[in-house]
Amino acid sequence: MSSLSGFLRGISTIMPEVPAPQRKLSLTMKLIWTAIALAVYLIMAETPLYGITTGGTDPLAYSRIIFASNQGTLMEFGIGPIVTAGLVMQLLKGAEMIKLDFKKPEDRALFTSATKLLTMVVILVQSLGYIIAGIYGSLSFTTMIIIVMQLFVASVIVMLLDELVQKGWGIGSGISLFIMAGVAQQIMWSIFNPLTVNIGSSEVPKIVPFGFIPFLIDALIRGAPYEAIVREGALPSLIGFLMTMAVILFLIYIEGVRVEIPISSSKYRGFSGVYPIKLLYVSVVPVIFASVLLTDVVFISQFIWTSFNPTNTNIWLNWLGTGIFNGPEDIIFPTGGLVYYMSPIQGLSAAVADPLRALSYVFFMVLIVTIFSKLWVAIGGLAPKDVAKSLLDADVHVPGFRRAEASVGTILARYIPPITILGGIVIGLLASLSDILGVFGSGTGILLMIGIIMQYYQILMKEQLETMMPRLAGIFERK
């Protein structure tokens, strides 16, 4: 462990780093830097990778919104490597495989350096994986090197942008900012996009507006408004628009559903309050875990298929997943096998055409999210005994019960485990059914967006309060 620590300390001296501001910035300056970081991200998300052709079927389309990525651009990976490395490090820390004391600045710096190093390793592995799996088709060796360099540099820039925002130059975190922007952009694009698409064939084209509002106007002019209710090709429809609004309102509602346990201060007489246990106790972390897992399963199975079973002749590998080459640069995967029934299905028409796949996707999503909910509570410091210890360490107890970890933990154990399972089922159903109903931005994307917006609202209220009453800043910092 000491040799590893020494290695990481040595690496940290050459690791790219954004210095923290020497003084606390004003809210206006933070907003400016946040806007700059967002602008750089959006520009890279629209800049195509040099050396490849785009426009083919995207087997990872359903996970793009979660990782704020865009196919065939510098943001091919988005925040995926950062999230993956961060989750791995948090799991190792939560399982106490990495023993660090975050109260010590040197240990925090060591953890940050290890996370950065792992992020760079993930970027390289993912870049090489995309090349080997044939995501970009057949390429020359020189083109492969150029693409890997582009992906690596762009992903490192995203890592530094996230660090820039988190270190006090901006507001919140870069990861949250990019996810929120990506989801909001996709929702607005689905509603207002005036560009046209061909939902027919090359012989018999059928050109229609992509966005729901332009298509609705077009349908009204043609005297066929019923066409906007459910559209071909899982395009934005009236049902999708109504379901999007319903999901947003439902999420805002369940964010306030909670069980409140009365607490009192052992240090300050007369102080009392409640400890809230929300229905979404573990927030959307399990959904991110599930999405990462499903993405990795599809990616690995596609690599196996392209390398060992491209003609779907291996009976055993066909159980894992099958696909087809729709052209030299266009792979459609999966078309069958276990991966096919685990991957998301988009739109009511697709669900009606293949109800078994729709049901299996909902089942797998709910199961995986619920399992990860239980796992995250166990290793993320959210278990009853961990919460009881935190409350007692803060000189807080539950009135009418002994000030002991065991008794407080017993009270919390009545609520936390069942709420964890119930919350996992709710968000698993919400994420999967939203995809089937054609919700704009995907159910998982809206889950993330609403949670991030509420976090930003709280941060902005705190920043504004500190600006109006500077003395409160010291109190917040001490907390």
Catalogue all structural domains in the chain, each as residue range(s) with its CATH number: 1-11+28-193 (1.10.3370.10), 196-235 (no CATH), 237-439 (1.10.3370.10)
Per-residue pLDDT at 453 exceeds 60: yes
Q: What is the dihedral of CA 169, 173, 177, 178, to 10 degrees?
A: 110
Task: Give me Rg for the CA atoms of the chain.
Answer: 24
What does the alpha-carbon distance between residue 393 and residue 420 come to, in Å, rounded to a whole number?
A: 24
Whose tokens are 């540099």? That residue is 153
How many CB atoms lie under 10 A from the CB of residue 264? 16
What's the rounded mean pLDDT across residues 391-413?
82
Kindly tell me if the per-residue pLDDT of 15 is higher than 50.
yes
DSSP assignment letter at 19: P
Backbone angles phi, psi at 344, to 5 degrees: -60, 150
Token representation of residue 70: 């865009």
Q: Is 81 exposed, middle or buried (0-12, 13-18, 19+ CB in 10 A)?
A: buried
Report the alpha-carbon distance of residue 275 to residue 390 in Å, rounded: 12
Q: Is the pLDDT of residue 470 over 80?
A: no
Q: Are the C-beta atoms of residues 22 and 294 closer than 8 Å to each other?
A: no
Instruction: Give the 3-state secondary structure of 249-282.
Output: HHHHHHCCCEEEEEEEECCCCCCEEEEEEECCCC
**Segments in 136-211 forming alpha helices (H):** 141-164, 174-192
Average pLDDT over residues 51-68: 71
- Whole-angstrom distance, CA of residue 377 vs CA of residue 282: 7
Residue 475 pLDDT exceeds 70: no
Task: Name the band, by pLDDT with cuts 50, 70 and 90, for residue 356.
Answer: very high
pLDDT in tens, 183-220: 888 899 899 998 888 877 777 778 889 999 999 999 99
| pLDDT score of 478 more than 60 | no
pLDDT given for residue 419 in this prediction: 93
Q: Is residue 210 within 8 Å of residue 193, measured between CB atoms?
A: yes
C-beta neighbour count of 170 within 10 angstroms: 24
Mean pLDDT of the chain: 83
* Structure letter (DSSP) for residue 399: T
pLDDT for residue 12 is more than 70? no
DSSP string, 404-422: SHHHHHHHHHTTHHHHHHH
Backbone angles phi, psi at 249, to 5 degrees: -65, -40
Per-residue burial over 433-462, b = 16 or more CB atoms within 10 Å of its CB, e = otherwise? bbbbbbbbbbbbbbbbbbbbbeebeeeeee
Q: Write out the two tokens for 67.
A: 């990782």
Task: For residue range 97-133, list pLDDT tens digits in order.
Answer: 667 666 677 777 778 888 888 899 999 988 888 887 7
Instruction: Give the tokens for residue 254.
Output: 């369940």
Cα–Cα distance, 53 to 138 (Å, whole number): 11
Q: How far apart are CA 158 and CA 82, in angstroms?
A: 9
List the structure tokens of 348.
């009511």
